[in-house]
Each structure stands twice: as structure tokens, then as C-alpha cells.
Chain A
Amino acid sequence: MGHYVPHTDAEIAGMLRFLGMSSLDELFASVPEALRLAAGLDMADGLSEPDTLDAMERLAERNRRAGRELVCFAGGGAYDHEVPATVRRVAFRSEFVTAYTPYQPEVAQGVLQALFEYQTLLCRLTGMEVANASLYDGASACVEAVNLAVAATGRQTVLLSDGVNPNWRQVLETFAAGTGHDYVRCQIANGVTRWPDDAQPAALLVQYPNHVGCLEDLAAARQLADNAGALLLVAFDPVAAGLLHSPGHFGADVVVGEGQPFGTPMSFGGPYLGLFACKRDHVRRVPGRLVGETVDADGRRAYVTTLRTREQDIRREKASSNVCTNQTLIAVACAVQLAWLGTDGLRELALRCARGTRYTRDALLAMDGVDPLSDAPVFREFAVTTPVPGDVVVERMAEEGFLAGVPLGDEYGERGLLISVTERRTRDEIDAFVGAFEKVIR
């Protein structure tokens, strides 16, 4: 139907005359005849706007969305946090949504300043000195952290904790096929990583809190990294930063993470936000875009993407990364949400998650047959084992109106269930969840 092409038939005819052409087909004269689609695309014709939205709604209705009918206790890298109206209304203004990468800083100060503020907020959360303007997701941030560590140390081996999100570890393995990086898998015992003490790796990669919810001993990991001359890479939970020490406090060199909890609905997994921050020593190896403050020709404060010689469009095959399009809009939403929370609100958010988690965990562990995966301290999610496997619990709990958690793979021992409790969960919801849980595990 082409509703979005403004040309009238008369205008098209006039424009073709201007070009000395008599038909639109002539525009494609350089496409060899044999390659042209004589019959057009084998697809349905276009729909009107209401018909399109009807079709999309019919698909959306075939999902069971999280909400009162399916109360969400699932986490594992995607969390059911509140997204305030302010974020939805302000971060998604069309000036932010429909702008390109800020290559012309004179007309892109809005996005540039928002990114500068995002970088500042991320550094304050992580205890780092430099943050980039975003990567794709938690997995890609891990990949880039490893690439930085390998380039910085000249070593190829990385100690990879089993406590790192399993999907992210799969992505690391996928990209290792090209870079030749070698991952040494480090298992977790009683909830925390057991590191080999005789390795000479480029880095240790650890998650804090880890995938089964437990608080890793980052001080010990730092000590091990120092002994080996390796970098400490920490995948952190930005919500935890409201209550826990920052990874920077423990001496992390690079901090990465998944920024979805701030301002992004669960969205079936994307677009999310790859958080990346590091010590200033590594600034020339930072992947992707970095915004810096400077002045304009009149000496007024201005912002611009900087240290551009790291990037692919200039450095080509020697670039620090191939990333070009990133997740800027999601980073802006993250900045808006963090500012909305504020210093006090971030602490309260973390505290509320921890309280709900404690309340839920205590109630579940009081049941016969429900055991903790470990005794290590947890923060906002925890793993249990039950008489029936985790995926069966999830299936049965869905009938009761709950998304009970994320089933854990065999690598964590018995087939357990990872349960997450955000600030949105009320005592009544938790009590009902516990009641249903008791019923389905038998």
C-alpha cells in the first residue's frame, strides 16, 4: 500500500521526466534483467493501520503476560521491576527515539548530554572511572570485557565462573570461535566460585551476585587476580549497587552487567542494555562510543563522542571492537530511571528486593522437601531444589497463576529453580505463591 511514501502520481511522473525516464522500472536499469523479480515479492499486500494493529494484538494475546494473572517470580537476567510513567513519557520522546548516532554534535547535544549523564551515573554505581555509551546486553558486555583483558595482557585464557549467567557464557563460547580465547570453567561449590590457584590467565570473570543469587567473595578473586597478574572482570547487578559494595570497592578492573532492571520492561529479552565501565587506565581499549565534555567555538560547554580512533569506522580491522549501533535509547531510559530513583530511592529499591527475597525464601525453606542450593548469602534471588524438577514446578505454577522462576541446568547439581523477588511483589502475592508452591511440589 505504501502509506508512508508521500509522492503523488503527478509528482512521480514529473520527477521521472526530470530524469529523462518514462517509468519507475528504468530506475533499476543497472540491475541485470536476469536478477529482477518479475512477479514481485511472494508476500501479502500491505494492511491498513488498524488491520496491522489487530494482527499484532492477536499475536500479543497469545502470550500470557506477567501481571495479576501471572505473577512474576522469574529473574535470571531479566527482572519484573516497576517502570515509572516518567521514564515511559520522557525517555521515549520522539527527539530521542528518531535521532541517529550523534555524528553532528552541534545538533545532537540532547543525546550526547544524556549519555554523558548516563556514563557518570554508571561510574558512580560501579565505582569505575570510565563508562561507554552502552553495548547490546549483558552477554555482549562480557564479551567486550574479555576482549579488553586479552588485549591488555596479551594472554588468551580466561577463568570463567559457572556463576556467570549460563546464556552469557554460551555467547562467550560462541565468539571464542573467532578470537581463539580459551575459557577455563570454574565450578561453584556451595554457591560460590572455586578458582584454580595455579593459572596465569588474562582475567577472571565473576558475577556479583552470581546466577544462583549468591554473593561471591570478590576480595578473594581480586587477590587471585593480583597474584596472577590478571584483570578482575565483574558482571554486577546494578540494583544490588543500592545496598552492596560496588565492584570498584573490591578492586574490579572492568565492570559489566545487564541494565534492563532500570527502565526497560522484560520485553521477551530485548532490547536490553549492556553496561560497561572500567578503570581509566584502559580507556583506549574501551569498545564503542564514549562521550566527553568539551567546549564549542564560543567557549560554551558542549559534548562530543571522543577517542574516536578506537572505533571501527576509523580504525577498521584494528578497531577495539566492531560495535557501531548500540543501545543508546535504552541507556537514556536507564539514566532517567536512575535519576527518578535518586540516591535514596536506589537504596530503597535494593532494600525492598532483598526484603521480599528474604520473606519468600524463609517461607519456602520451611517446607518439607524444599532445600536451598547453598547456604551462601543471597541478595535478590535464590535457588532451591524441590521433590520435582524445576521445569515441572514452573509448568504447574503457571496453572496457579505464577511464573515461578527460571529452571536451573544440570551444571548446578540437582535440577533446581531460581526464584527472584522484586520490589513489585506484595506480601499477599508472596503468601499466595508460597501456598501454591506447597501444593505443586508434591
Chain B
Amino acid sequence: MAKQISVFLENKAGRLSHVTRVLGEADINIRALSIADTSDFGILRIIVNDPEKAYTILKEAGFTVSETEVIAVQVPDSPGGLARVLEQMSEESLNIEYLYAFLGSSEDDALVIFKVEDFEKARSTFKEKGIKFLDEKLLYKL
């Protein structure tokens, strides 16, 4: 389990640079990021070293922010690694809302951030199938 910070961004020049500047000035390091975009707006999703602080700072700066629970899954860093994990999830009908890669790795594994529909089910499935996922404390320190 980990906390992702999600930020609403209008499709306007300079908005992304503003968010990142605010975070940088507060000494917050971005560890993973993805942007979902439509023609009018985007949603920035980030994993940072200090999610609580990031949430407060961004709120104070006037952004619409939310905290979202995600899972950082350790995926073998070799061909077919992600495919295997996804197949196992699909067998259990675990629905994925979205996923994106983490900018670092844990041991020999690549890290992929998953937002799933049903957390508890995901957790138990991962344990059952031997899919490793990272504790949030370790994740923020990476």
C-alpha cells in the first residue's frame, strides 16, 4: 500500500511547471509520476518521499489535490515480467484502474504502481500468488 498524490490540472501553459516548482521548493522529491490527460484537463499522479507534506503544500498553493491508495508491485525486471503479474491478476478478475512505472527499483525488481478497484482482494491475491509489493515506508525512502 502506498499514498499517491493526485492533482487536477487545467490544460493551460505553465500549470505542470507550477506544481513541480511548488514541490521542489518544499524539498519534496518526486519518485514516480504519470499524467492522464483529456483535451481540457489533466490529472497528475505522483509518488513522493513525503506525501502528507506534499498534500498540504499543494493545497495551500491552491491546487485541487487528493490522496489515493495505490500498490507498488515488484515486477521481475526481465522480459515477460509484467505480463506474468497481469495474467495472474486477470485470472482472479482483479480490475486495474491504471498503472505506471516507478523511477527506481527495489533489489532486482522493477516497481510498478497499480491503482486497483478492490484493495483487499488485491492484497490477498498478491500474497497467495507470491507477487511481491513494497511497504509504503520503504517505498518513500527509495
Q: Do A and B bind each other?
A: no
